Amino acid sequence: MNAPSSLRSPSARLYQPSVEVAPFVRAFMLRDTRHCALQGEQLLNRFPASAHCVMTWFLEGEAELLSDAGGQQGLVLSGCMVSGCQTQPIVSRNRGDTHGFMAMFYPDAFQSLFDVDLAQLQNKFLPANDVLPARGRELAEAVFAAASHSVRQALVEDCVTEHARHHKLPAWLRIRRMGSRITLGMAAGLLGIGPRQLQRLALREAGANLQTLNRLRRGERSFLAAQRRHLAGQQIDWADHALDCDYADQSHMARECKAQTGRTPAQLARDAMREEADWVYRLTFSDAFTKDDDDDPPPARST
């Protein structure tokens, strides 16, 4: 029997920021499951461990945290939530239909923008009103009031642009771009401090120690490289892929992938194509927000 015509497929999109704010913002993401009648495991959301700080707006609906590294299982996610570096994979479950907008910040950029101690955000999800200064709370409220995702992106980017006029990120940006190949001594030299001081500073300003950041960034690059090859119809030689992505060998890559996603590369490749809960792993960058991505007049909600 055919599904009712009023039902539709859930949607998810990933968008790049403008060039001007790219040193601060990694990506924008949206997810909409309204009128999709998802059930059971389809209501789950599986996210990998990540170095990014994320502002998530639940424009409609809410979710419950099921599994994380911060001991917040059972936490209801609603309104505008702020999360820091996540050192383990996360699982949440939607409580019915949801509609969300996310801004993913580089952690050092988020710290510079809002002057938040990222050590307090590691493996945590907290209401924006409990974490952010006045300009952050104002941004959260403005995004809720916006009539479309394109306007939401513009609001975030305007906030970043205004801040960037007075605050630059030369040292942290160079460390980021050097990726997993940067050593503790090299990073300390770039920042002009000692290695021990660097580790304390990294936890506060970048969300985790340098080794953890390097592992998470290497895992993200490995996944994106494998995703590009898969989408291009290319076979992946996992041993060669591991070496290309700066792992010691294939076993090293498999261990780190399992630690960051809960699955080996082969298992993840299999699940990502067929499990609704793994929607985030299917995302590729879209060009721009379109009219189809825009929502109805925004709901009256507070953060």
| Same domain flag for 151 and 182 | no
| Same domain flag for 176 and 52 | no
| Same domain flag for 148 and 37 | yes
**Low pLDDT (below 70) residues in the chain:** 1-6, 168-170, 287-303
| Same domain flag for 133 and 203 | no
Q: What is the pLDDT of residue 296?
A: 52
Q: What is the pLDDT of residue 273?
A: 87
CATH number where 49 lies: 2.60.120.10
Instruction: Check if the beta carbon of residue 143 is closer than 8 Å to that of residue 80.
Output: yes
Residue whose tokens read 């998810």? 12
| 301 within a domain of the structure (yes/no) | no
Q: What is the pLDDT of residue 292?
A: 58
Q: What is the pLDDT of residue 2?
A: 45
Contacts of 2 (CB under 8 A, 6+ apart): none
Q: What is the pLDDT of residue 183?
A: 83
> 69, exposed or middle or buried, with CB in 10 Å at 0-12, 13-18, 19+?
middle
Domains: count for the chain: 2
| Same domain flag for 192 and 44 | no
Q: Give the pLDDT confidence of 130-181 residue by residue, as tens digits.
A: 999 999 999 999 999 999 999 999 999 999 999 887 776 667 777 887 777 7
| Same domain flag for 99 and 218 | no
| 247 within a domain of the structure (yes/no) | yes
pTM reported for the whole predicted model: 0.90
Domain that holds residue 37: 11-167+277-290
Q: What SS3 class is residue 116?
A: coil
